[in-house]
Amino acid sequence: MRLPTQAHALLTIIEGHGTIEQRQLLKCMAFNNQLKTKQKTERILTYYAGFLTKLGCIEVLHTAHMHHYAKNQERRTK
């Protein structure tokens, strides 16, 4: 399955960091030209994080005080 451009850009950022906190991810997204739209970065993150999670490309780790985004050890594509 070919990922939408924004989903691929988000996945590339996450893969580059391995595990990344939501704040840092939003900062990285703000500087990525493929993620520039009229939508706020938080909205893009919410949509595509859910999309990538459902595909099994990433997992979202929740802690008591912050949210982390981390890629799975195995990247699965359909």
Domain ranges of the chain: 5-63
Q: In the predicted model, what is the mean pLDDT of the chain?
A: 80
Residues 6+ apart with CB under 8 A from 4: 48, 51
Is the confidence at residue 67, as pLDDT, over 60? no
Q: Over the stretch 20-57, which tens digit does the pLDDT of each residue have? A: 888 899 899 988 888 888 888 889 999 999 999 999 99
Could you give the C-alpha distances from 38 to 6, 20, 62, 77, in angstroms and in order?
A: 13, 24, 28, 29
d(CA 26, CA 20): 10
**What residues pair up with 58 in beta bridges, in sequence order?**
71
Model's pTM, two decimal places?
Answer: 0.74
DSSP 8-state class, residue 2: P
